[in-house]
Amino acid sequence: MKLEGKVAIVTGSSKGIGLGIARVFSQEGAKVVVVCRTEAAGRKVAEELGADEGRALFIQTDLTKAEAIRHMIDTTLDTFGQLDVVVNNAGYHISKNVEVTTEEEWDFIINTNLRSTFLCSKYAIPHLRKTKGNIINISSMVGKVGQPNAGAYSATKGGQIAMSKGMAIDFAPDGIRVNVICPGWIETPLVEDWFGQQEDPEAARKYIYGQHPLGRIGTIEECGKAALFLACESDSAFVTGIALDIDGAVTLGY
């Protein structure tokens, strides 16, 4: 198994892409720290991944708070003794252009998406230095191409990409790799809710699928396997500073 003996923190792992990553990591032998704000959902995932056998741990965390993040990392180390991989996946989306976005909404999305990535990375790096570990930041295709009525969200996702490239340079001498995954349309509860809110959900689904050269959208398992590639030293030891598109080529004609 590719991650046997490794310990990974995956934020926002109670559902969607984070859940897909947590499952794949667990299947490949990693001990997984499930991080989210909702206790019931987080504990359910940790139980699925083997909390009773000591293979998973749930830590309820407000990722906008430095103190909470330090507690998350300290608890991980107290429980498992090391830290090898951090996946910064937790995020929030707001569908507004910049003119109508309030200052409070701007601050919230910056704190949730970008500041949390900074804080988790900052406080994990001293421990990743010991294990020659790596950081995987989950951005979005809109971090590269933008998105209508989502200026603040696009800013956070573009910021994650730029910050990750800077960190990849800064911490390469320490043996720490930093990479980004940029998902496109993925089968998540959020996307399914969006389809359901359309006037004709099936027509909307058909249209979105048709925008993809591969004729479909992605799965959370495919995102998990992409993260596995980046997390696995034997597969990607010479890979750092990249932003990997998992989008079925939709951005080529976005």
DSSP helix/strand/coil, 211: coil
| pLDDT exceeds 80 at position 161 | yes
Q: Tell me the average pLDDT of the chain.
A: 97
| φ/ψ (deg, to 5) at 94 | -130, 130
Q: Can you tell me the mean pLDDT for 109-120?
A: 98
Pair 220, 188: CB distance under 8 Å = yes
Tokens 């998902």, located at residue: 183
What are the pLDDT digits (tens) for 5-24? 999 999 999 999 999 999 99
Q: Is residue 1 part of a domain?
A: no
How far from each other are the two terminal CA atoms of the chain, in whole angstroms?
A: 37
| pLDDT exceeds 60 at position 145 | yes
Q: Is residue 151 part of a domain?
A: yes
Instruction: Give, in order, the Cα–Cα distances in Å from 194 to each of 16, 37, 93, 113, 198.
Output: 14, 22, 12, 20, 7
The fraction of the chain above a pLDDT of 90, given in percent, is 97
| pLDDT exceeds 60 at position 254 | no
Give CA–CA dist 134/232, Å, rounded. Answer: 9
How many domains are there within the chain?
1
Q: Is residue 143 part of a domain?
A: yes
Give me the residues paired with residue 36 across strands. Answer: 60
Q: Can you tell me the mean pLDDT for 83-92?
A: 97
Give CA–CA dist 108/124, Å, rounded. Answer: 23
What are the pLDDT digits (tens) for 162-197? 999 999 999 999 999 999 999 999 999 989 998 999
Range of the domain at 29: 7-253
Q: Can you tell me the mean pLDDT for 54-65?
A: 98
Q: Given pLDDT bands bounded at 50, 70 and 90, which one contains residue 230?
A: very high
Is 153 considered catalytic here? yes
Q: What burial letters (b/e) apply to 157-182, b meaning 16+ CB within 10 Å? A: bbbbbebbbebbeebeeebbbbbbbb
Give the pLDDT score at 236. Answer: 99
Does the model's pTM come out above 0.85?
yes
Among 153, 207, 209, 254, the active-site one is: 153
What CATH number is associated with residue 152? 3.40.50.720
Give the pLDDT score at 35. Answer: 99
Alpha helix ranges (H) inside the chain: 16-27, 39-48, 66-80, 103-109, 116-131, 142-145, 151-171, 189-197, 201-210, 220-231, 233-236
From the list 245, 246, 148, 250, the residue with the least C-alpha distance to 208 is: 250
Q: Can you tell me the mean pLDDT for 24-34?
A: 99
Q: Is residue 2 part of a domain?
A: no
